[in-house]
Chain A
Amino acid sequence: MKIGYFTERPYRWLPEEEVLKNHSFFAVSNRFFDAEKAADDYNYYIDENCYAEELGFDLVALNEHHGNPFCMGSVMNVEAAVLASRTKRVKIVLIGNPLPVIKHPLRMTEELAEIDLISRGRLVTGWVRGAGSEQFFNNANPAYNREMFNEAHDFIVQAWTRPGPWRYEGKHFHYRHVNPWALPYQKPHPPMWIPGVISPETVKWCAEHRYPYIGLGTLLGPTCDLWDFYADEAARHGYQAGPENFGYLIPTVVAQTQEKADDIANNFVFGGGQNAFSRPEFTMPPGYNSKSAIRMLAKQPTGSWLGVSGEKLAQHLESGEPEQVDYDDVRRKLIAGLEKVKRNYQVIAGTPESVLAKVKTILRILRPGVFIMFSVQGPVSNEERRESMRLFAEGVMPGLRQYAREIDLADAFERTPGSVDLRNDTRERVVDRSPLQELGLR
């Protein structure tokens, strides 16, 4: 199993009340942006990812969002390029480039090839559709999001594998001269991992392409459902899915005491946390979600990622006029709500011992080949962030590695995803739901 480090690189200098007033991080005015502080933060986060390498993490993961202080990675490939040069060993995992939002797959092939070349083959490139708000920010037609995603992906694979020059006339993209000089270091191209939240279409697509699927903090029960669905689809394509096909990323804080860990973890709901990524009208632009995804959202009563949740769907239907808000009360409720989220194992906070036990439980249930620690959000100091990373690396990571060996969690580098044939035409199980009942989760 590979163990990774991830942070959203939050802008840490935003008055919380501005986010609460706006009901989301997206669309908070950039008049609150301070270039000096942001310069410090960008440099700090680069250093932090280098520190992850020093601590022994196998990979660092980056993501990208637009117009949003929740995540400063507006152009993730720039950060990846810096890390390609600054680091020596870690895999650089992009989860992922929002293809329909960037709308230029040929340029994407060049940017990523350069990163892969500078890092001498340490790039893992992932693709996403881009959050709902990104469709607005980039004026990307949400009704064509999935089509553009598929076409851009297929084009990129072709551009990396078919010698040029050639001409491309697609539906959404058109190129007269496809012949990128810089091709990836890895052959035929860097591995592709696909992060996701709830969309069964994405899971199906991953299984078809034999790409590992990285669950982004989704509830354990629905994650089991999705991974079973992946494994069913994999079986239809003639292979047995296994840990090499799955990764899981979860908010994690480690501190010397439980009290300190809880205190820091409260920052996961700073400004409303992931639920406040963007308001409902920006989260679900027209045509962006398939009907089946909307129906699935409606069934998922709690849990969210980047504002995508059943609750948000309800708000989309019912949100009325803005009401008078007591922000202190909102903060109290957010922190009270976090307790439930912790009980659901959607945020892991504690001492190295307690975190190890909880993550082992997650590994037992989901059997992922990749586990990624998602570092804390909000205005947490550099020292506290690094302490949490260090305690994870020293007090949690060794135990996780040992446990992963015991339960045979092969990762995507040890075993090629999609390389295990089905035995006797029936698929083996990919998750273990038995602890869910013990934990009262399903």
Chain B
Amino acid sequence: MTNWSEETIKVAETELALIKGGAGKPLLIFHDELGYPGWMAWNGALAETRTLLIPLQPGFGKTTRVEWIRTYRDLAGFYSQMVREMRLEPIDVIGFSAGGFIAAEMAAADPKIFSHMVLVAPMGIKPNEGEILDFFALTIRHHLRATVAEPDKTPEFDQIYGGEMTPAQFEAFEDARAETARIGWEPFMHNPSLPYLLRGLTTPTLLIWGTRDSVVPRGCIDEYRRVIPGAQVVELAGVGHRPEIEDALSFERAVEKFLMA
């Protein structure tokens, strides 16, 4: 397993918690709306050739809440400041779910900020068909379960949620849910102007989606592809909202191939 560490960096006038691991060219990773789930096998695989930088979102516990961040666009602006201050641009990025929303907002505001953009089951655009699951109207347990197609066949899912929850874990999830509500309650997990601002984006973009995703419908992927015509799509059969742990090998292959191109 690759070594990783947690450190605190001062960016955008904020003490930001950052997971850092691996070696090589930096790769920025935005976790999803439930928070950083821990270092998984796919992290280790990518970290063999890349330095993974995983900021822990403000308001999710480790990094304190940033008062002025009231929308995903604000959050994207915050992370753009981080990228500038760390002199990382252009950088490759992977965004998961709401993390994809963040990356897309950053690319829309600054088309040169990313050299490659991987969006895994991204939110951010209203789907042309279907709806993003209203996970705010679910208990945390049901929300967690909805993120994978087959929990029993996804060993790493146990590391995220093994069926029991300590009060500390519950509080961490509640922090994540509260902050996600704060910035994504209405319009729900999308920004109506985002597709217009993404039009014509030439950043190489990869969209990854599992065919059994019950959180983000295929309609979101179709909309992203419509506004970013050059975007590639990799569809993983039988996989839910967490392709990176449900079919880690296919996920890693797709990402590595795309980033090396």
Contact = CB atoms under 8 A, between A and B. Distances in A.
Interface in B135-167: 136-142, 165, 167
Interface string B106-146: 00000000000000000000000000000011111110000
Interface stretch (B82-90, B170-178, B215-223, B241-249): B170-178
Contacts of B199: none
Given A287-B177, A291-B171, A294-B174, A316 B140 contact: yes
13 contacts: A141-B185, A142-B181, A280-B139, A281-B142, A282-B137, A285-B136, A285-B137, A315-B139, A316-B139, A317-B141, A317-B170, A319-B139, A320-B141
Interface string A305-323: 0000000000111111000
Interface residues of B, dominant DSSP: helix
A144 B140 CA distance: 20
Given A143-B179, A286-B136, A287-B174, 19 more contacts: A136-B136, A141-B182, A142-B178, A142-B181, A142-B185, A143-B178, A143-B181, A143-B185, A285-B136, A285-B181, A286-B181, A287-B177, A287-B178, A287-B179, A316-B140, A317-B170, A319-B141, A319-B142, A320-B141
A324 interface: no
Interface string B165-200: 101001100100111111001100000000000000
A139 interface: yes
Q: How large is the interface on B (under 10, 10 to 19, 20 to 34, 35 or more residues)?
A: 20 to 34
Interface of B: 136-142, 165, 167, 170-171, 174, 177-182, 185-186
Contacts of A285: 136-137, 181
Nearest to A315: B139
Contacts of B138: 281
Interface residues of A, number: 21
Nearest to A295: B167
Interface of A: 136, 139, 141-144, 280-282, 285-287, 291, 294, 298, 315-320
Contacts of A320: 141
A280 B174 CA distance: 14
Nearest to B137: A281
A243 B141 CA distance: 43
Contacts of B142: 281, 319
B79 to A, nearest CB: 20
Nearest to A282: B137
Contact of B186 (A139, A294, A319): A139
A132 to B, nearest CB: 10
A286 B177 contact: yes
